[in-house]
Amino acid sequence: MEMTIRPRRLRSCDNLRRMVRETRVSPDSLIYPLFLIEGENIKEPIESLDGQYRYSPDRVCEEIESCLAAGVKRVLLFGIPKHKDAVGSSAWDPNGVVQQGIRAIKAKYPEMYVITDVCMCEYTDHGHCGILCGHNVDNDKTLEVLAKTALSHVQAGADIEAPSDMMDGRIAAIRDILDDNGFVNVPIMSYSAKYASAFYGPFRDAAGSAPAFGDRRGYQMDPHNRKEAMKECALDVEEGADILMVKPALSYLDIIRECSDAFDLPMAAYSVSGEYAMIKAAGKLGLIDEHRVMCESALSIYRAGADILITYFAKELAQAMREGELG
């Protein structure tokens, strides 16, 4: 039998395989999530996220230095305040934990690109992502506090705002307040298609943000829905989002692909706490090769269409990319 087409020819050695790779990735695409806790001299391990820590603002630069040494130049900040109330007023406090953290990072490492999560769940005493009216989140009242929070972050020195609340109209509200205050060049990375997922469990432990009653299915998306993700992304584009995001990542690769194909904006994907925790747990038990599964999982997200990956494995992936194992 004569065969002229032999796909295996291009798999014959490592040098050739690297040359013909279809998916190319770089450490520049990685964002590392980082938890800030109010207080002083705190570096506190997060039990549900092996290898991750909560840092007080005066110690956060220890982790920033580690990120930069690994080649990770972008972080996404989440805040854990001491004071929580019904409206989450600590979120927009000029001396709040995130605002302190931003200033500390920018003072010592101005080259670090700081992205801040904008949501109310870490700041409200009820753990929901907005202002309550009875047992329901009032969408329009929440827009005002989200916008104030985003503005306070940018005034403290944040480079990008990333609203994760899933309120209708929040991109327009944040864009308006930033523009009105002279921050026309600050981008918005929207959590456009954020699903009501069971994969968030370790994060809620890390950030102390579990709802005191009910759940978040009244504002986060139903995992059954695909077309709704397209609608959410389209609305965010209309309202002025600069980067779109799908969250979680691994169980929503189809959504990443479809949204990436449909919209001409950079596509981010958040590989969430549950995805990280499962790989770490299975690796610790010896059931999988943790490093290889980490790399393969990340590659699948990029291959699906993500341009940007938010992941707790950012530092390890950056090393794998530099060594040519990925990309």
Catalytic site residue from 43, 148, 227, 247 = 247
Per the CB < 8 A criterion, the answer to whether 61 and 105 are in contact is yes
* Structural domain contains residue 294: yes
The pLDDT tens digits of the residues spanning 285-298 come to 999 999 999 999 99
Collapsing DSSP to helix, strand or coil, 220 comes out as: coil
* Structural domain contains residue 312: yes
Which residues make beta-bridge pairs with 243?
Answer: 189
Residue 229 token pair: 């993700």
Q: Which residue type is seen at 313?
A: F
Q: Quick one: pLDDT at residue 209? A: 77
Q: Quick one: pLDDT at residue 213? A: 79
Q: Quick one: pLDDT at residue 203? A: 87
Residue 283 token pair: 């690796």
Q: Quick one: pLDDT at residue 216? A: 86
Per the prediction, the chain carries an average pLDDT of: 95
Per the CB < 8 A criterion, the answer to whether 189 and 245 are in contact is yes
Question: Is pLDDT of 1 > 90?
Answer: no
Containing domain of residue 132, as a range? Answer: 23-322
Per the CB < 8 A criterion, the answer to whether 54 and 47 are in contact is no
Catalytic site residue from 82, 84, 141, 194 = 194
Q: Quick one: pLDDT at residue 218? A: 87
* Structural domain contains residue 178: yes
Rg (CA), the chain: 20
* Structural domain contains residue 256: yes
Which residues make beta-bridge pairs with 85?
Answer: 124
Inter-axis angle of helices 60-70 and 97-108, nearest 10: 50
H or E stretch covering 261: helix 253-262
Report the C-alpha gap between 129 and 136 in whole angstroms. 10
* Structural domain contains residue 17: no
* Structural domain contains residue 32: yes
Active site residue 247: yes
228-261 core/surface letters (b: 16 or more CB in 10 A; e: else): ebbebbebbbebbbbbbbbbbbbebbebbbbbbe
| Percent of the chain residues past pLDDT 70, beyond the cut | 100
Q: pLDDT-based confidence at 78, cuts 50/70/90?
A: very high
Residue 169 token pair: 């109209």
* Structural domain contains residue 97: yes
Smallest Cα–Cα separation from 312: which of 185, 203, 219? 203
Average pLDDT over residues 90-115: 98
How many domains does the chain fold into? 1
* Structural domain contains residue 96: yes
| Prediction pTM value | 0.95
Per the CB < 8 A criterion, the answer to whether 116 and 77 are in contact is yes
Average pLDDT over residues 160-172: 96
Report the C-alpha gap between 278 and 282 in whole angstroms. 6
Report the C-alpha gap between 318 and 327 in whole angstroms. 10
Average pLDDT over residues 170-183: 98
Q: Quick one: pLDDT at residue 211? A: 81
Q: pLDDT-based confidence at 231, cuts 50/70/90?
A: very high
Average pLDDT over residues 57-70: 98
Q: Which residues contact 201 (CB under 8 A, 6 or more apart)?
A: 48, 273, 274, 277
Active site residue 84: no
Question: Is pLDDT of 171 > 90?
Answer: yes
Strands of the chain (E only): list them: 30-37, 43-45, 53-55, 74-80, 113-118, 132-133, 136-137, 160-163, 189-194, 243-247, 267-270, 308-310
Q: Which residue type is seen at 23?
A: T
Q: Which residues contact 100 (CB under 8 A, 6 or more apart)?
A: 36, 57, 156
CATH number for the domain spanning 170: value is 3.20.20.70
